Structure 1
Amino acid sequence: MTSNYTLRDEIRDYWSARAATFDEQVGHEIFSEAEREAWRELFLRHLGSGNGRQALDLASGTGVISHLLDGLGFQVTGLDWSEAMLARARAKAEARGARIRFVIGDAERTLEKPESYDVIATRHLVWTLVDPIVAFKDWHSLLKPGGKVLIVDGDFVSETLVKRMIRAFERLTGRASSTSHTPDAMRETHERILQRVHFSRGARAGEVVSLLRQAGFAETSVDYNLKRIHREQARHMPLLKGVERATQHRYAVVATKR
């Protein structure tokens, strides 16, 4: 590994390596129409119908959120730093006949045209940011006046009481709440990355809101009502894993540009 190999490079390569199996995991791909409808309801609640408005899906991965936005009538651009992810996203779009623009780029420094989007959506991106204030300022510049950013994320790091109880149960019974097929080396890379990102101790909604305001966003609100999504996801997960997910600090933050 060369000396100019940055943390961002490592994050990009990590997710590129995950691309082949990304859609096999609950929370990445959507496995039921009931969950899809729950996501649609969340987006409609905060962003409204697309009506041809311009939407940017940041860290679009294999295009799951891009396709949801497309289905709501937005003109969608999906931006991701991994060519492997984008290849899968483009294949999905071609199979569906969806006219989604997928481009390669860094979600912290997009290089997209200022004031070119009506909405920006992200799912499970913010917790991986190296410099969130730089990213949020960039996102602010991309939005038209009155534009909104919708951030769906959470604190996946902090130990909760339920999480400790589940770990204790696993130790006592010798059973795990889920079976991981992730190679040890990849898990080690994930842990190494997590220790160096900004939200290494967990992305709490309050801090995300504070940084958004520092970046120039005006109205901000936090929506913790994601129970419908979590309930549908839990149907495709081991019981204890579903309980753990439902009790994590997960949220949607909405912020508006004046």
Structure 2
Amino acid sequence: MLESRIEKYWNNRADSYNEIIQKQMACRKKQAWESLLLKYVGTRENLRVLDVGTGPGFFAVLLAGLGHLVTAVDKCEDMLKQARKNVERAGQNIRFVKAEAHAIDLPNESLDIIVSRNVTWLLPNPLEVYREWYRLLKPAGKVVVFDANWHLRLSDPELQAQCDKYRQLAIEKGYQDKFTQVQKEENDAIARKLPLSSEKRPLWDQQALSQCGFQQIEVQENISDLVHDEIERILYHPTPMFAVCATK
């Protein structure tokens, strides 16, 4: 089953992914992401916020630090273990829930904000997930999605060539790939089975969110200069990160 395969893959990567998050917590990226969250979430405190696909808890910690009441969701228990440690280290109080993104056991219209980073590409059922998030939001609540066309290259030979070119340029600048060959192959194998790997985004997200009933949809097609370091800007040049903010 695809969902089990995804869960196994990310449980196995929990330790190494947590190392990445630790580095982000200790550099300018923390402030960069805080600024972006403030842009979309606003400055009002004590909002009820849901961080979907929290991983090791990076967004959960940032949002709690901004004064919000945070619930963090992930389907991978090993990721949640890392997140709990990071939250304790940060001295924050965050509720954790193990759940799928499309089936979160919270009441209708109980949340002000739902956020996710690098999660929606992994969804086997993204439209169903957006409908679930619409259900959970209060009137005028917001969904904020940060993601990229990470695997569009698998169905686009020209994009694959661009990705290979910029990856080599990044290596020449000092990029060190920490993925094993087995991890790369499994990651791509999973991506080939996921619907958003072949969709051009954020256009797909705009259309899907509108279909779900969201009224106001704001898109920032390239936030890479804001959140990536020099080598990442080279590496991910063909697949820049985007931001989508949809208001119910």
Fold equivalence (TM over 0.5): yes
Q: How does 1:194-209 map to 2 (within 5 A)?
A: 194-202=191-199, 204-209=201-206
Among 129, 140, 144, the residue aligned to 1:135: 129
Among 56, 72, 87, the residue aligned to 1:62: 56
Aligned counterparts of 2:165 and 2:83: Cα–Cα separation in 1: 38
Q: Corresponding residue for 1:165?
A: 165
Residue identity (%): 29
Aligned counterparts of 1:229 and 1:127: Cα–Cα separation in 2: 21
- Residue 211 of structure 1 deviates from its aligned partner by 0.7
Q: How does 1:88-167 map to 2 (within 5 A)?
A: 88-157=82-151, 158=153, 159=159, 162-166=162-166
Aligned counterparts of 1:40 and 1:167: Cα–Cα separation in 2: 28
- Residue 201 of structure 1 deviates from its aligned partner by 2.1
Cα offsets for 1:185-227 (capped at 9, x unmatched): 2222211110001112255101111011111111101013524
Q: Which is further off, 44-53 or 82-91? A: 44-53
> Are 1:12 and 2:16 matched, yes or no?
no
Give me the TM-score of the superposition, normalised by structure 2. 0.88
> Are 1:252 and 2:246 matched, yes or no?
no
Give the aligned residue type for 1:117: L
Aligned counterparts of 2:178 and 2:3: Cα–Cα separation in 1: 24
Aligned counterparts of 1:169 and 1:115: Cα–Cα separation in 2: 47
Runs of 4+ aligned residues of structure 1 deviating over 4 Å after TM superposition are 167-170, 174-177
Cα offsets for 1:84-103 (capped at 9, x unmatched): 01011111112222101111
> Are 1:188 and 2:216 matched, yes or no?
no
Q: Which runs of 5+ in 2 are unaligned?
A: 154-158
- Residue 167 of structure 1 deviates from its aligned partner by 5.7
Q: Which runs of 5+ in 1 are unaligned?
A: 1-5
Q: Corresponding residue for 1:3?
A: none
Aligned counterparts of 1:177 and 1:163: Cα–Cα separation in 2: 16
Give the aligned residue type for 2:113: V
Cα offsets for 1:115-135 (capped at 9, x unmatched): 111000000011111111100
Among 40, 48, 52, the residue aligned to 2:42: 48
Provide closer, same or farther for how the CA distance between residues 180 and 168 of structure 1 changes in structure 2, counting only shifts above 3 A.
Answer: closer
Give the aligned residue type for 2:166: I
Q: Which one has a larger percent helix, Structure 1 or Structure 2?
A: 2
Give the aligned residue type for 1:41: S
CA RMSD in angstroms, aligned pairs only: 2.4
Q: Corresponding residue for 1:211?
A: 208
Give the aligned residue type for 1:44: L
- Residue 9 of structure 1 deviates from its aligned partner by 1.1
